[in-house]
Amino acid sequence: MLFIALEVSSRAGGGSRSVGDHRVAAVRLWSPSPDDEEALRADFELFVRGYFRRGLSDDITGHLGAVLQVRPKGRNAADRRAGYDADGRATQVGKCGFYLRPSFVGRILRT
């Protein structure tokens, strides 16, 4: 996996989303160690089996997961997808994505 860390330039301001307004700070080619793979797998299973498959996606907080976290994804809270509630009934749930925790990415970039 290739990691490219970008720094926001002072001329662009903190809210710039253009890649051209950033400076490359670090580049790392990374392959997970067996311990990293186990930590990633454990977090993924926690979210998928412990929350999504049980219809508990609304109970996920940013504090869960050691190396992965689930965060809202989409334009706003009204951006929903098909899912299931805790009783197995079809419902609409917020879109979300899996993200590596900053501390985990920092460790990768320091190696």
- Give the model's pLDDT for residue 53: 85
What percentage of the chain has pLDDT greater than the value 70?
90
Same domain, 37 and 58: yes
Task: Specify the number of domains making up the chain.
Answer: 2
Q: Are residues 53 and 11 in the same domain?
A: no
DSSP conformation class of 67: S
Write the single-letter amino acid at 78. Answer: A
CA atoms within 13 A on the CB side of 30: 21
For the segment 51-90, what is each residue's pLDDT rounded down to a tens digit?
Answer: 988 888 888 888 999 999 998 887 776 777 888 777 888 8
Same domain, 23 and 75: no
pLDDT (mean) for 1-18: 72
Residue 89, pLDDT score: 81
3-state secondary structure of 89: coil
Q: What is the pTM of this model?
A: 0.76
